[in-house]
Chain A
Amino acid sequence: MKKLFSVLIFVLLGSNSRAQLPDNKLNLSIGYSYCFFHGSEMAEEGTMIAPSLFSNYNQLMGFTLKCFVKQFKFLSVGVGYSSLFASDWEAKEFQTFEGSKLSINAFSPLLQFHTQHAKNGIFNKLKLNTEIGASLGPAKARFESPVLEIHGQTGEIPQPMTETGFFYGIVAGLGFEEVIRNQLGIFVSYNYHLNRIKPRLYADNRFSYSELALGFKVKLARDKHLYN
C-alpha cells in the first residue's frame, strides 16, 4: 500500500503538466473498491443484543461505476453503482454468521463539486472533487447455517438461509482525478456510506462503511468549443 501511495505521489509530482483545458461533458469512471465496515461487534435492536452481521466482516470489496454529466463549471450530476461482496465473518464469542456471504448493490444519485483544469501548473492535470448523494439498494446475505430455529406443530419447517434487506442512506466523499490523456484519467476516491436497513434475520438496523476506490475515468463527450 505504501509503495502504491508513493507511486501515485510520484505520478502527481513528477509528471509534466500539459494542457488539459477542453473539459469533459460526460464522464464514466470504473474502479476497484476496497471497503471496510465500521461499527461495534454487537448490534442492538430494542432490548435484544446480538452479534452484528455487517461490522464483523473482515473483507469487503468489489467494483464501482459512476457516470457524471457536467452541468456547470464546478458542478456535475450523476449516478453511481457499487457492487460489493463481503466475506470472512468473524466475532470473538459467536459463530452465528460464520461462513456467511453478503453482497451489497448500492445505487446512488450523486452531486459532485469539482475544480476545473487550470491553464498550466499541477492543476492542469489534477482535478479535485467532493461528492454527496443518496444511496439505496439491496443487501443480500447468504448464511452457511440456519440463523433461527423454527419448530412447527406438523414437523420441520424449511429454514431461511438467505435474507435480502433493502437499505437507504447517504454517501459523501472526496477524491481526485489525474489526467493521463485528454480522454482518459485515473481516479482515487474515498466515500463514507451510512445506511439504514430493516432485516428479519439479524439485528443490525444500520450499517456504515468506508470505500476506497481506484480506477479509470473515461471522458465520453468533451466540449468542442475551445474558444468559449
Chain B
Amino acid sequence: MKSALLICITFVLVSAGFSQTNRSYMTFPTESKTIFGICFSPKGNVLAVGDDTRIKFFSTATMKLLGTLNDGHDKMIMTIDISRDSSLLVSGGKDSLIMITELSSGRVKQTLKYHQGIITTAKISPDSKFLLSGGTDKKVVLYDLVNHQIKIEYGGFAEDITSVAFGPDSDIFAIAGGDHRIHIYDTQSGKLIVSLSGHTNWVRGIAFSGDNEKLFSCGDDSRLITWNIANRNEIKLKESAKQGLNWLTCLDVNQDSKSCVVGSINGKFKIVTARSDINVRLKAPVTKILFVPDQGFVLMVAAATNGLGVVLIDARKL
C-alpha cells in the first residue's frame, strides 16, 4: 500500500514537472496533428502549414489563421515552399503531385506529375528560376520555372530522397537521402560537383548557410555535420558532432549563418548557437524545423511534428 502510494505521488510530481516545460510552446490551430510541410514567408510574418490536403496560413505574431488554400491535393501534403519573391508557393504530397500556386491570386498555375512516389521534399531556388523535388521514387527533378519544362532528371538513387537544398546564390544545389551521401550539383550545367561521404546512415536534413560558406547536414547516424563549401573545388568536412542517439530528422540554419537547429525522431531538438546550446523536448517526433526569419538575435523556432501539430518556440523563454 505504501509503495503504491509512493508510486502515485512520484508519478504526479513527475507529470507536473513535465507539464511545466510545455508552457514555453504555443501550438498553431491545425486540424491534423501530423504535419510534415511548413514554410515561412520571406519576412517571417506568415507561416504556411500543409494541414492534411490543404495549406493554411497563420500569422506568426498572433498565431491566428489568415487563410486556407485548397490547391488540389487529394492526399497529405508533405512539403511546401514559398519563393523568395513571395510570388509562388509550391507543394508536394503523398499523391505524387506538385502544385505550383500563384500566391497573389491563389490560383494553381501548374500541376506537375513527373514523380511516381511520395514527394518528400521540394524547394524553389532563391532566384525563383528553378524548382527541385525528390521523393520515394528515388528520383530528383530540376524543373525550370521560367520555361516551364524539366531541366534535368536524376534517377537511380539507391534509396529515398529525403531533402534537397539550393545554395544562397542558386548556383549549386544539394541532394540527400537514404544512400548516406550528399550530392552537390551545379545548377546551370546540372553536373555533379561532388558526392560527400561522412554520414553512416540515412541523411535526412541539409541546409546551406546564408554566407555561402557552410553546408549543414544531419541524419539517422545522429550526427550533425558541417561541411566547408567556401572553395567549391575543395568541399570538405569541417565538423562532425554526435547529437544524442536518435535519428536527426531535420535541420535549419539561421540567417546569421552561425546558429542552427536540429530536430530528432524522439521529440528532442537542439538550437546550436555560437554561445551555447539550447535543448528542447517535445512529446512527438519533429518532422520539420525552421527558424522564424528576420528575428535578428531573437531565436524563434517553428517545429512541425508527428502528433502535436506545429509548435512555435521562443528560445528566450527556455
Q: CB within 8 Å of B: which residues of A? A: 2-3, 6, 9-10, 13-14, 16-22, 119-120, 124, 181-183, 224-228
Answer yes or no: B308 CB below 8 A from chain A CBs.
yes
Q: How far, in Å, is A111 (CB) from chain B's closest CB?
A: 29
Q: How far, in Å, is A19 (CB) from chain B's closest CB?
A: 4
Say whether A13 contacts B11, CB under 8 Å. yes
CB contacts under 8 Å to A, within B1-44, are 3-4, 6-7, 10-11, 14, 18, 33-34, 36
How many residues of B are counted as interface, with CB atoms below 8 angstroms from the partner's CB atoms?
A: 37
Q: How far is the CA of A13 from the CA of B12 in the complex (A)?
A: 9
Residue in B closest to A118 when the chains form the complex, CB atoms: B307
A120-B307 contact, Cβ under 8 Å, with A21-B285, A22-B265: yes
Answer yes or no: B257 CB below 8 A from chain A CBs.
no
Partner of A227, one of B78, B281, B282: B78
Say whether A120 contacts B308, CB under 8 Å. yes
Answer yes or no: B108 CB below 8 A from chain A CBs.
no
Answer yes or no: B81 CB below 8 A from chain A CBs.
no
What are the residues of chain A within 8 A of B33 when measuring CB–CB?
119
Say whether B202 contacts A224, CB under 8 Å. yes
Say whether B160 contacts A19, CB under 8 Å. no
Partner of A19, one of B10, B178, B283: B283
Q: How far, in Å, is A126 (CB) from chain B's closest CB?
A: 14
Say whether A227 contacts B120, CB under 8 Å. yes
Consensus secondary structure, chain A interface: loop
A18-B266 contact, Cβ under 8 Å, with A120-B307, A124-B283: yes
Partner of A182, one of B118, B265, B282: B265
Partner of B266, one of A20, A119, A224, A227: A20
What are the residues of chain A within 8 A of B178 when measuring CB–CB?
224
What are the residues of chain B within 8 A of A10 when measuring CB–CB?
7, 10-11
Partner of B285, one of A17, A19, A183: A19
What are the residues of chain A within 8 A of B173 when measuring CB–CB?
none
Say whether B245 contacts A181, CB under 8 Å. yes
A226-B265 contact, Cβ under 8 Å, with A119-B33, A119-B284, A183-B245: yes
Partner of A119, one of B14, B281, B307: B307
